[in-house]
A = this chain, B = another copy of it.
Amino acid sequence: MGLVEQFNEYRSKMNDQILASDSLIIKRIFNLDANAYQDGALDVKSKELIGLTCSLVLRCDDCVKYHLGKCKEVGLTSKEVNEAMGIATLIGGTIVIPHLRRAYEFWEELKNV
């Protein structure tokens, strides 16, 4: 199983389990999260770039993977995604580089999905 399938499957399985636990706060945060990236004053591309770069500077690999998947879905190009990740690396420093490696690897695999 590729990186992308593995990521999606685990994410989906655990999200189900978390939502089944009937934790009201968490349910509402998940709900907010689903709505926040919809078209609004900003378009979905700008929002996914925000989601991607914030995830990168906060060094959350799974969040980066999730937003890379969405970036591809909404039609962002490799050039745009790489430029955004370049800015994030500058803001967050060389400490971001190991996460950048995993991001590039995941973005490559997304092309084959």
Contacts and interface: CB of A to CB of B under 8 A. Distances in A.
A80 interface: yes
A86 B55 contact: no
Contact of A50 (B53, B61, B78): B53
Interface of A: 10-11, 14-15, 17-18, 21, 23-26, 28-30, 32-33, 35-37, 40-42, 45-47, 49-51, 53-55, 57-63, 77-80, 82-98, 100-102, 104-105, 108
Given A83-B23, A95-B91, A100-B18, A46 B47 contact: no
B53 A54 contact: yes
A90 B58 CA distance: 13
Copies of this protein in the complex: 6
29 contacts: A10-B101, A14-B101, A15-B101, A18-B100, A18-B101, A24-B86, A25-B35, A25-B83, A25-B90, A26-B82, A26-B85, A26-B86, A28-B28, A29-B86, A40-B83, A42-B49, A51-B87, A51-B91, A54-B87, A54-B88, A54-B91, A55-B95, A57-B57, A60-B98, A90-B93, A92-B92, A92-B95, A93-B94, A93-B95
